[in-house]
Amino acid sequence: MASQYRRLATDSAAATSRTSDPPTVAVATSSGTSTRATRLLGAVTLVGIAWLVAFGLGFSPADANQKESVRILYVHVPSAWLAYLAFIVTAAASAIYLFSKKHALGWDRLAGASAEVGVLFMSITLVVGALWGRLTWGVFWEWDARLTTTAFLLVTYIGYLAVRRLGGSHEQRARRSAVLALLAVLEIPLVHWSVRLWRSLHQEPTVLRPDGEVKMDGLMLFTLFVGIVAFTLMYVWLVIHRQRTMAAEDALDDVGLDAAIDARLAEGSS
Amino acid sequence: MEDAGFIIGSYVVTFAAIGAYALYVMRRARRTTSRLPDEAKPWT
Amino acid sequence: MSLRSTARTAQLVARKDLLVEWRSRIALNQVLPFAAIVMVIFAFALDRLPNPPRPGGDNDTLLQQVAPGLVWLATLFSLLLLVQRTFAIESEDGALDALRAAGVDAAAVFWGKTMALAAQLAVLEILLLGAAMVLYGAEARWSGLALLVATWLAATVGLAAVGTLYGGLAAGARGRETLLPLLLLPAVAPVLIGATRAVEAALGIGGTAIADGWPWVGVVSVFAVAFGAGGTLAFGPLIDE
C-alpha cells in the first residue's frame, strides 16, 4: 500500500507543485485542503472583493448612457471572463493529459475542477447578464449569438461534469472526459457560427436599446480592473481546493475506506 | 440609487453563489481528508 | 490498418446492425410510431393561424410555416431512441468490448454504426416529410428537389455521426437514458438550425428563394465533416475500457 501512496503522491504533486505551496507542518493541515499559501490567497481575495463592492456600489460614478446600471458590469464582466478562462483551462489540461506520455491524473483533476468552477461562473454570468439586459435592453434574454453560445457552453459543460461522474477507473474517467472536453472545443465554434448566421437573417429586435457604449473614466476602469483581479484570485483559490479535494477522493477510492481507517489507527498507536 | 434592486440583487446573487460553492468545497474537503493519512495529501 | 480493410469492416458492422434491427423490428414497431405520434401532438400544440393575418387571404397556417422545423425536431427525438437502441444491443452482452478485444479497428466500428444509423434515419426523414405534407399541408416544389436531397444527405450523415459518437460514450453507463440527450441535443443545434432553414428554402416557406438554402447546406455539411473526423479519432478512446 505504501507504494500505492507514493505513486499517488507523485501523481498529484506534478499538478499541485505549480502552486508552490511551502511544505507546512502536517498537524496544521491534518484536515481540509488548506495550506499557508491558500489561506493567504483567500485573505487577499476577500480584501479584493470588499474593495470591489466598495468601489462598484459606492465610489465609482454612474455612466452617462447606462446610468447606475453600469455598476452591474463590475461583477458581470469579470465573471464572464473567468467562465471562459475556466473552460480554456479545462480544454488545455485535457489536451495535456491526453497527449503527454505520463498521463498524470493531476491534469485530469485540474480539468474537472476548472470545469466545475466554470459552470458556477457561467451560471452567475447568465443570471446577472439577464438582470443587466432587463435594465439596458428592456428584456431579460435576447437571441444574440454571444448569449446563445454562452448558454450552450453552460449546458455542454454540465454534460461534461455528468460524464465525469459515470464511474469506472480513474484512468477511464480521465480519458473519457478529456476526449469530451476536446470535442466541446469542436462543438462550441460550430454552434456559435450557426447561431450567428441564423441571427443575421433577422433584423435587430425593436427593444429599447440605447447605444451600449460605455465611456469609462479612470475610476470606472480601475473598478473593473479590481473586479477582474479579485475574481481571478477567487478562481485560483476555488480550483486549488476543488482539485485537492478530488485528489483526496481519488485516494479514498484507491485504498478503500477501511484501509484508510486502519492506516490512521496504526499511525496513532505507533 | 436608481434600479437599486437589480444592481444590489446582481451583487448578492454573484457573491452568494460563489460563497455557497466555496462552503460546499471546504466541507467536502474536510470530510474526505479526515479519513486519509497525511501521506496521501501531497499538498501538505 | 489499411483504409480498404477499415471500409470492409465498417461495411460488415453496418450490415450486422441493420440485420439485428430488421430481425428485432424495434425501429419499425416502436420508433416509427413514436415519430408519428410526435408529429400529431405538434399539431395539437401549434394549431393556430399566424397573427396578424396577411392581406389577400392566402394565409398559411402556423403548422405549414413551421413544418420543416417540426420534421427535424421529430427526427432528433427519434435519433435519441435509435442511438440508445443501437448501443443497447451492443452493451447487453458486451459485444462492443468483444469487438475491440478481437482487434477490430475503432474507426471501422464507428463508421459501421454510423452507416447503419444513417440508413435508418434516412428512411425515417422521408416518412416524416411525407407526414408533414399529409398532416400539416406542407407543399414541396420540384425546383427545390436538389436542395432537399442535399440537405437530407448532409444532415443524415451529420446526425448519425454525432449520435454514434455520444451514444458510444454513454453506452453501458448508469443513467445513460438521461445522459445522452444532455450531451447530444446541444451538439446537434447547428444541424437543427441549418437543416430547418434549408428545407424552408426548398419548400419556399414565407417566400424564401431556393438559393437562400444552399449556404445552410454548407453549415450542415461542415458539421457532418467535423463530427465524422472527430468520431474517427475519438471513438476509440471513448469506448475503450
The secondary structure of A13-54 as a DSSP string is HHHHGGG------GGGGSSSS--HHHHHHHHHHHHHHHHHHI
Question: B5 in contact with A at a CB cutoff of 8 Å?
Answer: no
Confidence band of A124 (pLDDT split at 50, 70, 90): very high
Least CB–CB distance from A183: residue in C175, C189, C234 = C234
CA–CA separation, A62 and A78 (whole Å): 19
Q: Which of C151, C183, C233 to mutate to test the interface with A (most CBs of A within 10 A)?
A: C183
Q: How many CB atoms lie within 10 A of CB B25?
A: 23
- A-chain residues near C215 (CB < 8 A): 197
CA distances (Å), A94 to each of A24, A180, A182, A189, in order? 30, 9, 7, 18
**Residue C57 scores a pLDDT above 70:** no
Cβ(A111)–Cβ(A177) below 8 Å: yes
The predicted pLDDT at position A180 comes to: 92
Q: What is the ipTM of this complex?
A: 0.89
Confidence band of A68 (pLDDT split at 50, 70, 90): confident
Nearest to C27 by CA among C92, C149, C116: C116
| Alpha-carbon distance C219 to nearest alpha carbon in chain A (angstroms) | 7
Q: Which of A2-6, A32-36, A249-253, C92-96 has the highest mean pLDDT?
A: A249-253
Confidence band of A240 (pLDDT split at 50, 70, 90): very high
**Residue C240 scores a pLDDT above 70:** yes
Confidence band of C58 (pLDDT split at 50, 70, 90): low
Whether residues A79 and B34 touch (CB distance < 8 A) is answered with no
Structure-block grid coordinates of residue A152: 450552450
Give the residue-averaged pLDDT of C145-161. 94
For chain C, list residues whose CB is within 8 angstroms of any CB belonging to chain A.
165, 169, 173-175, 179, 182-183, 186-187, 189-190, 193-194, 197, 215-216, 219, 222-223, 226-227, 230, 234, 237-238, 240-241
The predicted pLDDT at position A205 comes to: 45
Q: Write down which chains contact chain B via at least 3 CB pairs under 8 A.
A: A
Whether residues B10 and A56 touch (CB distance < 8 A) is answered with no
Q: What's the pTM value of the predicted model, to 2 decimals?
A: 0.83
CA distances (Å), A226 to each of A81, B8, B16, C36, in order? 13, 18, 19, 57
Task: Of A6-10, A115-119, A250-254, C225-229, give the lowest mean pLDDT range.
Answer: A6-10
Nearest to A105 by CA among A182, A33, A172, A171: A171
Task: Of A13-17, A77-81, A165-169, C225-229, give the lowest mean pLDDT range.
Answer: A13-17
Nearest to A113 by CA among A19, A203, A204, A40: A19
Question: A164 in contact with B at a CB cutoff of 8 Å?
Answer: no
Q: Identify the residue with better confidence: C194 or C102.
A: C194
- C-chain residues near A187 (CB < 8 A): 186-187
The predicted pLDDT at position C51 comes to: 64
**Residue A209 scores a pLDDT above 80:** no
Whether residues C241 and A172 touch (CB distance < 8 A) is answered with yes
Q: Which of A40-44, A65-69, B28-32, C155-159 has the highest mean pLDDT?
A: C155-159
Confidence band of C56 (pLDDT split at 50, 70, 90): low
Structure-block grid coordinates of residue B35: 479519513
The predicted pLDDT at position C171 comes to: 78
The predicted pLDDT at position A11 comes to: 44
Nearest to A93 by CA among A122, A65, A118, A113: A113
Question: Strand, helix or coil at C98?
Answer: helix
The predicted pLDDT at position A3 comes to: 43
**Residue A99 scores a pLDDT above 80:** yes
Task: Of A21-25, A41-45, C205-209, give the lowest mean pLDDT range.
Answer: A21-25
Confidence band of A270 (pLDDT split at 50, 70, 90): low
Per the prediction, chain C carries an average pLDDT of 87
Question: Are chains C and A in touch, 3+ Cβ pairs below 8 Å?
Answer: yes
Give the residue-averaged pLDDT of C102-120. 90
- Where do the H-state alpha helices sit in chain C? 3-24, 26, 32-45, 62-91, 95-101, 106-136, 145-170, 176-187, 189-203, 214-239
Question: A70 in contact with B at a CB cutoff of 8 Å?
Answer: no
**Residue A210 scores a pLDDT above 70:** no
CA–CA separation, C140 and C131 (whole Å): 12
Whether residues A193 and C226 touch (CB distance < 8 A) is answered with no
Question: Are chains A and B in touch, 3+ Cβ pairs below 8 Å?
Answer: yes
Measured over the CA atoms of residue C8, residue C10, residue C16 and residue C19, the dihedral's sign is negative
Q: Identify the residue with better confidence: C240 or A83.
A: A83
Question: Strand, helix or coil at C213?
Answer: helix
Nearest to A86 by CA among A156, A167, A169, A20: A156
Give the residue-averaged pLDDT of C31-49. 90
Percent of chain C with pLDDT over 90: 47
Q: Tell me which residue has cell 465573471.
A: A79
| Alpha-carbon distance A186 to nearest alpha carbon in chain C (angstroms) | 8
Percent of chain A with pLDDT over 90: 28
**Residue A141 scores a pLDDT above 60:** yes
**Residue A30 scores a pLDDT above 80:** no
Nearest to A71 by CA among B18, B1, B16: B1
**Residue A28 scores a pLDDT above 60:** no
Confidence band of A22 (pLDDT split at 50, 70, 90): very low
CA–CA separation, C15 and A261 (whole Å): 54
- C-chain residues near A155 (CB < 8 A): 182, 186
Whether residues C169 and A176 touch (CB distance < 8 A) is answered with yes
Percent of chain B with pLDDT over 70: 91
Q: Please give the interface size between A and B, counted as residue pairs whose CB atoms are below 8 Å apart.
A: 138
- B-chain residues near A247 (CB < 8 A): 41-42
Whether residues A134 and B29 touch (CB distance < 8 A) is answered with no
Question: Are chains B and C in touch, 3+ Cβ pairs below 8 Å?
Answer: no
Least CB–CB distance from C186: residue in A156, A162, A201 = A156
Phi-psi region of C206 (alpha: psi -120 to 50; beta: other; left: phi over 0): left
CA–CA separation, A55 and A151 (whole Å): 30
The predicted pLDDT at position A260 comes to: 61
